[in-house]
Amino acid sequence: MREAYPVEEAVGIEHFVSDGDGVGGRLRASPEDFRVREIERFDAEPADADPGAYAHLVVRATLREWDTNDFAKRLADALGISRERVSWAGTKDKYAVTTQLFTLRKIDQSDLEGVSIYDADLEVLGRAGRGLEFGDLAGNEFEITVSDPERPENAEEVRDQLTDWADESPGAVGVPNYFGQQRFGSRRPITHEVGLHVVRGEWEEAVRSYVANPYETEPEDSQRARREAADAFAERDWQTVLDAIPPRLGFERAMANQLVESGGDGPEDFRAALEAVPSNLQRLFVNAAQSFAFNRILSERLARGLPFHRPVAGDVACFADEVEGLALPDPDREQRVTERRVETVARHCERGRAFVTAPLIGTETELADGEPGDIEREVLADLELAPEDFDLPGEFHSTGTRRAILVRSDLDMDGATAGSDALTFEFALPKGSYATVLLREFQKTDPAEE
């Protein structure tokens, strides 16, 4: 198997499954080259519905080059409300054109009149009795252009290899359902490192890792600020830590400001510093640690040559629902695969009705048996993780779940011929799966050089 790049290995992605040379080229030469549109399972009442019964205004936003968290804060500021009153179903890439839903609690349509946010178009769809949640997202449709491909004609060979590897029908492809670089920080992939410290109860180390750990792929002035913060951190000089961090690093400043206020004397103070950032970012720290372990498990399964498109004895499979042509694995509908049941479950997998899973470790996670279980236990032991470690306070607590190890999709390509100056991919993926994980197989480029 073809080895991954070092920056991918740092987040647990160790291999490519296609051996063919990639097309090269660039992603996101402009935001318009990366278009994402949500597929939701969320119904809205008319906009004039009773706000007493339907307290949430439902808005569709088309955003150009907006981080979802940053946009939510900007929208909340424009409306003069707390950011906690803004909800959404999925976080999107910043360097893209994205279309997704937001709900605004206790906001009327008239409150949006006169609200203008740069590179954001808002459309009121109606009202709802509750805010959006992650479960309301079914998946995403993508239209992505790779600019200036060096070898666009290679795309067909890669597609054939991905079809064969996942035992798919012509036109469809499959890849390991890795968590992509964005999960860990595209420019500074350290979110899982923070999460591992949190899970181990190393609150001070978690704050230091987030605030004062420079990364070579971030801007030089950010690296310099973090080095200054690291020196002040060692001296427990929290005011100097705060002064070193530029305003654009708002979450880091929020942590440092909390340390200034508390004095930063013990574990409770450092935990409070982590809790100074939005609740979804607190959850992301632990989620990133779980994602890193998941990626490591998938890489080890690949290295051992175990299949992804069908189970082996000991696996845990889950059944799937279908929404707008997407197969959505449901981890709440699990089945352990015994030797006697392997072929029966394999037939369900072939038809897209079931998927083999691996754990996102948490307090209620049960591991697989047989060789898949051996892989899971070995990776978790290497990372010094156990289910009980996730019995944590507040937003850091996680019961865990299981996740499909294979993601498949029908794929349309345009421009896959020699001399083409752009190669366009159109496909849809279930929620939680990453377009970049599919595209990395086609490009074979180093993410550190993008």
- The mean pLDDT of 339-355, rounded to a whole number, is 95
| Separation of alpha carbons 288 and 360, rounded Å | 10
- Residue 87 tokens read as 């909800």
- Residue 75 tokens read as 């929208």
Q: For residue 10, what pLDDT band results from cuts at 50, 70 and 90?
A: very high
- Is the CB of residue 354 less than 8 Å from the CB of residue 344? no
Helix, strand, coil in percent for the chain, rounding step 5 = 40, 25, 35
Of 93, 136, 269, 389, which one is the catalytic site residue? 93
Residue-wise pLDDT tens digits, 37-82: 999 889 999 999 999 999 999 999 999 999 898 899 999 999 999 9
Q: For residue 114, what pLDDT band results from cuts at 50, 70 and 90?
A: confident
What is the per-residue pLDDT for 86? Answer: 96
What is the per-residue pLDDT for 278? Answer: 87
Number of H helices, E strands in the chain: 13, 15
Look at strands 137-147 and 34-40 and give their pairing: antiparallel
Q: For residue 121, what pLDDT band results from cuts at 50, 70 and 90?
A: very high
Return mean pLDDT, the chain.
94
What is the per-residue pLDDT for 260? Answer: 96
| Separation of alpha carbons 207 and 252, rounded Å | 9
Residue with tokens 């390509």: 413
- Dihedral-angle region of residue 140 (phi above 0 means left; psi in -120 to 50 means alpha; beta otherwise): beta
- Is the CB of residue 184 less than 8 Å from the CB of residue 193? no
What is the per-residue pLDDT for 50? Answer: 95
- The mean pLDDT of 131-136, rounded to a whole number, is 90
Q: For residue 268, what pLDDT band results from cuts at 50, 70 and 90?
A: very high
Which helix (DSSP H) or strand (DSSP E) does residue 185 occupy? none
What is the per-residue pLDDT for 168? Answer: 87
Contact residues for 116 (Cβ-Cβ < 8 A; gap 6+): none
What is the per-residue pLDDT for 184? Answer: 92
Q: Is the pLDDT of residue 187 over 90?
A: no
Q: Is the pLDDT of residue 240 over 90?
A: yes
Residue-wise pLDDT tens digits, 290-303: 999 999 999 999 99
Whole-model pTM over 0.85: yes
Residue-wise pLDDT tens digits, 367-425: 999 999 999 999 999 999 999 999 999 999 999 999 999 999 999 999 999 999 999 99
End-to-end Cα separation, the chain, in angstroms? 23
What is the per-residue pLDDT for 186? Answer: 75
Q: Is the pLDDT of residue 449 over 90?
A: no
What is the per-residue pLDDT for 448? Answer: 79
Query: Domains of the chain, with CATH numbers?
Result: 6-25+149-177+408-449 (no CATH), 33-138 (3.30.70.3160), 191-277 (1.10.1510.30), 285-404 (3.30.2350.20)
- Is the CB of residue 122 less than 8 Å from the CB of residue 59? yes
What is the per-residue pLDDT for 134? Answer: 82
What is the per-residue pLDDT for 34? Answer: 96
| Separation of alpha carbons 208 and 294, rounded Å | 25
- Of 423, 441, 11, the residue nearest 187 (C-alpha): 11
In this structure, of 52-61, 162-171, 206-215, 305-314, the range with the lowest mean pLDDT score is: 162-171
Our answer to whether residue 315 is catalytic in this structure is: no
What letter does residue 389 receive in the DSSP assignment?
A: G
φ, ψ (nearest 5 deg) of residue 63 = -120, 135
- Residue 387 tokens read as 């289910």
In this structure, of 93-97, 103-107, 182-186, the range with the lowest mean pLDDT score is: 182-186
Residue 245's alpha-carbon distances to 70, 155, 197, 264, in angstroms, are 18, 44, 22, 17
Residue with tokens 């993780």: 385
- The mean pLDDT of 90-103, rounded to a whole number, is 92
What is the per-residue pLDDT for 400? Answer: 96
Largest CA distance in the chain: 64
What is the per-residue pLDDT for 128? Answer: 97
